[in-house]
A = this chain, B = another copy of it.
Amino acid sequence: MSLPGAGAPARIRVPPRKPHAMHDARFARLPKPPYYAVIFSSRRLAGEGDGYAEAAARMEELVRAQPGFLGAESTRDGEGFGITVAYFEDESSIRGWREHIEHAQTRQRGRDEWYRHFEVRVAKVERAYGWDRGDA
């Protein structure tokens, strides 16, 4: 038995290395589809110091511990219009998160205190692709 490098030099082809694209933490790193997306778009009431930022940070901490949670992306503009997309393995992990008691309480606070309007769409991701300047 011989190990590579013990006899004739092994001809290992090292593929040309792409410039390493630093991962941008705002993007979710997701497995290959299929998986589920919960698309939450919302208009905030004007509000500073209304506990929203703290609650959002707490929800992020909780959802990361939710079985089946895959990742999320979120943004909001200066007019208070935001979109958050949270990704889950399957419908049952979405249900688990929906039934989380602290999350349910925080959704109620959202209706009472923070939002003017929101829409939720639950969708099954069938295909996905990405592009990075470092790949180009």
Q: Which residues of A contact B (CB under 8 A)?
A: 21, 24, 26-28, 30, 33, 37, 39, 41, 43, 45, 73-79, 81-83, 85, 111, 115-133, 136
Contacts and interface: CB of A to CB of B under 8 A. Distances in A.
- Count of chain copies: 2
Contacts of A127: 121-122
Nearest to A131: B118
Question: What 4 pairs between A and B have smallest CB-CB spacing?
Answer: A123-B123, A119-B130, A123-B125, A83-B83
Nearest to A77: B75
Secondary structure class of chain A's binding surface, majority of residues: strand
Nearest to A136: B111
Nearest to A36: B123
A50 to B, nearest CB: 14
A82 B45 CA distance: 20
A105 to B, nearest CB: 16
